[in-house]
Structure 1
Amino acid sequence: MIPAISLSTNIAISTNLTVTSGPNVSQRHRNSNTPNSLLKSLAKSGKLDDALRLIESWPSKFPATEPDVEAYSVFLHACISRRSLEHGQRLYRQLLLHRNGGNLRLLNNPTLKSKLITLFSICGRVDDAFGVFEDGIDDEHVPGQVWVAMAIGCSRNGQPERALLLYCEMLCRFVQPGNFAFSAALKASVDLLNLRFGRSVHAQIVKSKEEPDQVGKVLVITIGIKFLFNATVTVYRGFRSLKTEIPG
């Protein structure tokens, strides 16, 4: 004989599943519709025009919602990937408007400042990058990542002197340099053929707790090879000059 199946038990289980699953789906739906989530989604999809329209209309459409640093960071990352200078400049104007309204949180955020500096630098706008960098530079708590972004930007745009000055000022302000700062300073030393400074940076690397990355190691070797080559050329030219002066 087939045993009887309790219908009431099945109904109870089905009811419990319905009650527990409903709110989770609803919560996920609400979260996906927040302006910050929408901004991140648009930026990741490469829809920068739509993302920027959302940013520029934010104060009037979402006055009760604070813009999220992470969402703005995702947008800037998309701008950097596409070298979209115009979108970055318009976002920067929005950050300035926030500052003028008394909200310094976004403009002074180190991640956003670093990404703006990087964007302007890779687009060849070093002076604009310096404008972002110098805004608030008197603050003693400017983190190393902002300094490094600016030093790399100078080095990338053929301004090694500026890169070395930034590196020196970092040390004067007791900002601990890391591998990116070391690499930028070493590259500038190579570009300027400044052996003394290259040795100084190498000494800082040795003293630091960080293990030099591959880029730093390559630059140390490169600066050594360059100076060895120049020394060889100098000796050779001196020998040729001496040989010419000896009477035949």
Structure 2
Amino acid sequence: MRGKVAVSWTILIGGYAQNKQPMEAFNLYVEMLRTGLKPDHVTFATLLSGCDETITRKDVHQVHAQITRLGFDSDLAVCNSLVDSYCKSQGLELAFQLFKGMITRDTITFNTMITGCSREGLNEQAIELFSEMQHYGFRPSDFTFAALLRACVGLDVTTVGQQVHALAIKANLIKQRNALVDMYAKCGRFDEANIIFENLADRSSVAWTAMISACVQQGLNDEAFKLFNEMRSNSVCGDQATFASTVRASANLALLSLGKQLHSCIIRAGFMSNVFCGSSLLDMYAKCGSLKDSIVIFKNMPERNTISWNAMISAYAQNGDSKATLRSFKEMVESGVHPDHVSFLGVLTACSHSGCVDEARQYFNIMTQTYKLTPQKEHYASLVDVLCRRGRFKEAEAWMAQMPVEPDEIMWSSILNSCRIHKNQEFAKRAADALFNLDMLRDGAAYVTMSNIYAEAGDWEHMAKVKKAMRERGVRKVPAYSWVEVGRKVHVFTANDRTHPLNDEIRKKIDTLGKRMEEEGYKPHLSCALQNVNDEMKAESLKYHSERLAIAFALISMPERTPILVMKNLRACVDCHAAIKVISKVVQREITVRDFSRFHHFKDGACSCGDYW
């Protein structure tokens, strides 16, 4: 019969364990040993049940040794608790050793190991353990399927997930529908996820977050916001992951007002200290052109990981501050955080935007030789891009010849753009041919760029042939458009747009600006007008490019000296870049334009890119 004193100690230890105070429980256990009392199987099971990630593998190992000395290593409940404790204390290999040596196992044993494997990303082992569990005839539980579905997400194998789904239905275990939504959504099976989600009677925050995240991944950012608002109207409180996904939607839409509202929600929910929410906010402000806010968010982060450092590095790179990008990378390394593929992509992008060829080569070598990271296509594309932007096409071709990957659409497109800048028609033709011979093109950008190269050279015959080939292939031309947010409303403009309610006022503003710009010495770059018309008509057409219309509207709609942020889906032309520099000086405003690859911050007649982009 257990002694009353030992029972009292066990009850006290259990109290701490149940209240998620594992260190206090362990300290009490040590004090119990000092009194000379011997713990029994109940004490050990109770102590280990409260373990979490704060308990070290060494702590668990010491308890394990005591269990073995006292002869409780054959007790199933104690062994299950030990396996669970090893899994939670990053001792999965020790958990495997114990698991394999257990004479008796049950469903809990297998569930614990499957959960531990899926938590550590050992998803194939989790599936193998489930097969072994079935082989021995153990009936799976809700916990089994929850862990298996997480493993399927890690494997990104939907067929396995479908089999697990079928087994869950066969076992009449339907409580994991929220997890099913999460699994299908994260595996990119949006339709299946949506069907299950729509039929859920009780939707947890897991299901809502999975659907919001899936919408963001699919580019359905407006739908993500609708789901977020619907979730809140159903009195479901989102967690850190919910807010992080929704903030990404506002970043993709570049809607600063929505981003700020979400920022306020995160503060009220008490999630500002969460590194994922903080990183998402940092990224959102950067993509909305508010680099200052990104820096403030980063500086106030109580914890920083690879994701937050990468977000800051990318923010500087997107905004054209190469020195700050490289400085942040150095600070990241000095803080003890290891850079990954994303970190180096940010650095290489910054080098490309500033024309730093030698630095790009240096960081590429650091990535491969110091950190032993295998370059991906994006890294090779960045190195080719930095060479082509500098006009060093022979070096770029030599580099491409030794690459272990084939050039893709992104790489050839960047080469084509550089060829246009440096008027390298010969290499442009080869790049265009490579693009035109691809089985599938995202859009007609390559055809448009090549026809523009011919137009700038005055070769109207070849330009017409390219446009004809584009029509014959049925490739869609992407229309250029810009948008500006005023009063929490987005106003979209296309080139020479006359549909806006304030059309007359906008055009009057453009004419007024034109006169003042001429006084400052502005002359239009007629080569940017790609129609075969006279110079006067070319100059007139340039005045009504989409970003110029958006800026004119912002000037008549926003208070004086208020900064203006304009987004454009394509690359800004040389004339618009030159014009906006002059406009920023004339109207005494900061004007930020984000095109498809980077930000341009205009102030007092200069641009942050230094006219290199």
Change beyond 3 A, Cα 1:55–1:175: farther
One-letter code of the match for 1:71? T
Q: What is residue 197 of structure 1 aligned with on the other side?
A: 160
- Of the structure 1 ranges 156-165 and 68-77, higher mean CA displacement relative to structure 2 is found in 68-77
Matches within 5 A, 1:81-120: 82-99=54-71, 106-120=72-86
- The structure-2 alpha-carbon separation of the partners of 1:210 and 1:81, relative to structure 1 and needing over 3 Å to count, comes to same
In structure 1, the gaps of 5 or more residues are: 1-30, 100-105
Superposed CA deviations along residues 136-172 of structure 1, whole A, max 9, x for unmatched, are 2xx4x51110111011101111111111110111111
| 1:42 to partner: Cα distance | 4.2
Tell me the distance in 2 between the aligned counterparts of 1:79 and 1:196: 35
Matched, 1:148 2:120: no
- The one-letter amino acid of 2:96's match is F
Task: List runs of 5+ in structure 2 lacking aligned partners.
Answer: 17-23, 192-213, 219-408, 410-436, 442-465, 470-613
Structure 1 position 33, deviation (Å): 4.3
- For residues 7-32 of structure 1, the C-alpha deviation after alignment (integer angstroms, 9 at most, x for no partner) is xxxxxxxxxxxxxxxxxxxxxxxx99
Matches within 5 A, 1:161-176: 161-176=124-139
CA offsets 1:114-150 (integer angstroms, 9 cap, x no match): 22222211221110111221122xx4x5111011101
Deviation at 1:212, TM superposition (A): 2.4
What does 1:1-248 correspond to in 2, within 5 Å?
33-42=4-13, 44-45=15-16, 46-55=24-33, 67-80=39-52, 82-99=54-71, 106-136=72-102, 139=103, 141-213=104-176, 215-223=178-186, 225-226=188-189, 241-243=438-440, 248=469
Q: Deviations over 1:168-227 (max 9, x none)?
A: 111111111111111111111111111221111111001003332355333343355358
- With normalisation by structure 2, the TM-score equals 0.29
Q: Distance in 2 between matches of 1:146 and 1:57?
A: 33
Distance in 1 (CA, whole Å) between partners of 2:184 and 2:50 is 35
- Higher percent of residues as helix: 1
> More displaced, 218-227 or 204-213?
218-227
The structure richer in strand per residue is 2
Give the 3 Å change call, closer, same or farther, for CA 114–206 of structure 1 in structure 2. Answer: same
Q: Select the structure with the greater relative contact order (CA < 8 A; seq sep ≥ 6).
A: 1
- Of 89-98 and 217-226, deviating more is 217-226
Q: Output the CA distance in 2 between the equivalents of 1:52 and 1:194.
A: 46
Question: Structure 1 residues 78, 199: CA separation in 2 closer, same or farther (over 3 Å shift)?
Answer: closer
Structure 1: distance between partners of 2:167 and 2:438: 39
Contact 2:41 2:78 in 1 (8 A): yes
Distance in 2 (alpha carbons) for counterparts of 1:220 and 1:78? 29
CA contact (8 A) 1:79 1:119 kept: yes
Distance, in Å, in 1 between the alignment partners of 2:3 and 2:78 is 23
Root-mean-square deviation (CA), in Å?
A: 3.4
Q: CA offset at residue 81 of structure 1? A: 7.2
Corresponding pairs, count: 196
Counterpart position of 2:338: none
Give the distance between the partners of 1:36 and 1:221, measured in 2 at CA: 48
For 1:90, the aligned partner's letter is Q
- Rounded to whole Å, the distance in 2 between the matches of 1:187 and 1:79 is 22
The CA distance in 1 between the partners of 2:13 and 2:138, in whole Å, is 36
Report the residue type matching 1:218 in the other structure: V
Q: Percent identity between the aligned chains?
A: 19
Is contact 1:110–1:142 with CA below 8 Å preserved after alignment?
yes
Conserved? CA contact 2:118–2:150, under 8 Å = yes
Cα distance between partner residues in 2 of 1:130 and 1:177: 20
- Quick one: distance in 2 between partners of 1:56 and 1:203? 53
**AA partner of residue 140 (structure 2):** P
